[in-house]
Amino acid sequence: MDRVILHSDANCFYASVEMLHHPEYDGLPLAVGGDAEKRHGIILTANYIAKRRGVKTGSALWEARQACPGLIIVPPNYDQYIRFSGYLREIYSKYSDRVESFGLDESWIDATHSVGIRGDGLSIANEISRDVKNELGLTVSIGVSWNKIFAKFGSDYKKPDAITVIDRENYRRIVWTKPAEDLLYVGRATKRKLANVGICTIGQIAEADPDYLQGMLGKHGLMLSIFAHGEDKTPVAKENTDAPMKSIGNGMTMPRDLVNDMEVKMAFYMLSETVATRLRENHFAGNIIEIYVRDNDLMGFTRHHKIPVPTNISDEIARNAMALFLANYRWHKPIRGVGVRVAGLKGENYPYQLDLFNSEERREKQLAADRAVDEIRKRFGTAAVQRGLMYFGPDITPRKRQEQTIHPHSYLERGNLTMG
């Protein structure tokens, strides 16, 4: 029996969440983007009013304003989007214990074992769509198919607030007639290579000899052949086995150049505290610590390190960040900017192997202390509790906290492609 796979995509997600919190913008063109005051950055998403007036995702702010005079641009609030992403997954989890995030706004849902209780895939999709509207005030587009690739294609096929069923009877008519770039993992470079040999539609990818595609594109070509035929059997991951994004981080350009290890340590602790707070607020922990360092000639580098136990403890993040810095930087120039990122995210209660060299009792005390500081700062402000370390350089304070960048998971990073 075929699986019943749904792919749900929240329409104009960032912009839709902003509209919920800003009813005064109702009926107006709105986009979420970079720093409008500094006139730099790009459009992350826009509502449909703005899109109809020519605002495109990825365009520069000045281009968007030219296309749509009067466009309202608001900065991204990722903590808010992560929270609503969690609400969406809570709704999906009522229908299956296999809910796999593909970014904050997209999820696959394996509803195979729910069909006997809740009806066919279309019925389940209708229920999910209704629940999202009633509970969150958002809309989703949902694709229903027997595999993840065609389910995602279906959610992209009609927008907004639509449901598309792609089954074994209609997939040639719906999927195969569409441009090659509508298939997952056909980017600009791949599209160009395929077009050079006369392959311009998904159907033509399916009809091409898999060995020929593999010779031209390597393993990527064989994968696209599998995708085009709907033969991918890659499972939907178990609920809560991964966070909906790859990483949470924070970075800043310092008010003045840093000139010694102590000042860098202060910066890393400040950044690590904000990162750890975000992790705890969203119930994540991660086992990859990454730093970014840029000197006053704007030359920079990144380094990362995998730790044995996932963490959302500020001291552990800062100590690992500082160790990376000391191992990789020699003081030839002052430092202008630094960043800290935690990746490899899991749910904070995800089971892990205990580390013999790490005291769990000590870690629990550190986490309890961090949570206590979180509560005090929520009530009385960030400055209510500070580490003594910060008083060694009170002029090294962030002028503006820079929000993390959200990177979706790669379709292939959770395991190898599976085909029948």
What's the CATH fold of domain 247-392?
A: Dna Ligase; domain 1 (3.30.1490)
What's the CATH fold of domain 1-167?
A: Alpha-Beta Plaits (3.30.70)
> Catalytic residue at 413?
no
Q: What is the pTM of this model?
A: 0.77
Which token pair is 113? 């074992």
Catalytic residue selected from 18, 106, 239, 273: 106
Q: What is the mean pLDDT of residues 205-232?
A: 95
User: What is the rounded average pLDDT for all residues in the chain?
Assistant: 88
**Which tens digits make up the pLDDT trace of 296-342?**
888 889 999 999 889 999 999 999 999 999 999 988 899 999 999 99
Check pLDDT > 70 for residue 355.
no
Query: What confidence score (pLDDT) does residue 401 get?
Result: 44
What's the CATH fold of domain 176-229?
A: DNA polymerase; domain 1 (1.10.150)
Check pLDDT > 60 for residue 163.
yes
Q: Residue ranges per domain, the chain?
A: 1-167, 176-229, 247-392
Check pLDDT > 60 for residue 294.
yes
